[in-house]
Amino acid sequence: MSRFLPPDHDAGDERTVGGYAAVHKRPAALEGPDGFAYSVEATADVTGDASAPWGGYLLFLQWRRMGSQGVEGHLETEFIVRAATEAEALDAVRSLTLEEAELLLHELVQRRQAEEGGSTRRWWDVMREEDGG
């Protein structure tokens, strides 16, 4: 069951990935160029590099458009930052603006579509063309 939580504008800068999550108590939602909704989350993992053992990246969850609510797939960036600690890597990725995150999402979607040979048109544009308008 969902519930409304009023935003806490003192919790951070809602124009950033981490600030939005802090203010609204949920990840930001972005629209991909494919027309799907994506949630964005800052994530970190080990790099295997002793000089910068932690890398931070963005994870985008792609939500189903039809049927039962749930995740349809995901996309993730390469390491955006490398750092000495997991906290440093996460802080750096969380400080990215939502505009920067959206640009990265668009690049990932376009790359996936090119690799799969898929269309870059949104579903409603295809429907409009099929209806003659």
pLDDT value for 86? 98
User: What is the per-residue pLDDT for 17?
Assistant: 98
For residue 25, give its domain range.
17-117
Q: Give me the number of domains the chain comprises.
A: 1
pTM, to two decimals: 0.82
Answer whether residue 108 is part of any domain: yes
Per-residue confidence (pLDDT) for residue 130, from 0 to 100: 65
Q: What pLDDT sits at residue 45?
A: 98
Residue 1 is assigned to a structural domain of this protein: no
- Residue of 43, 37, 40, 26 whose CA lies nearest to 100: 40
In a domain, 4, yes or no: no
| Residue 128 placed within a domain | no
Residue 58 lies in a domain: yes
- Assess contact for 58 and 77: CB atoms under 8 A: yes
6: in domain: no
> What was the pLDDT predicted at 125?
60
3-state SS of 26-43 is CCCEEECCCCCEEEEEEE
Give residue 38's pLDDT: 97
In a domain, 80, yes or no: yes
Q: Is residue 124 part of a domain?
A: no
Q: Using alpha carbons only, give the angle 3, 69, 76 rounded to the nearest 5 degrees.
A: 100
pLDDT along the chain (133 residues), means of 10: 79 96 96 94 97 98 83 94 98 98 97 79 60 61
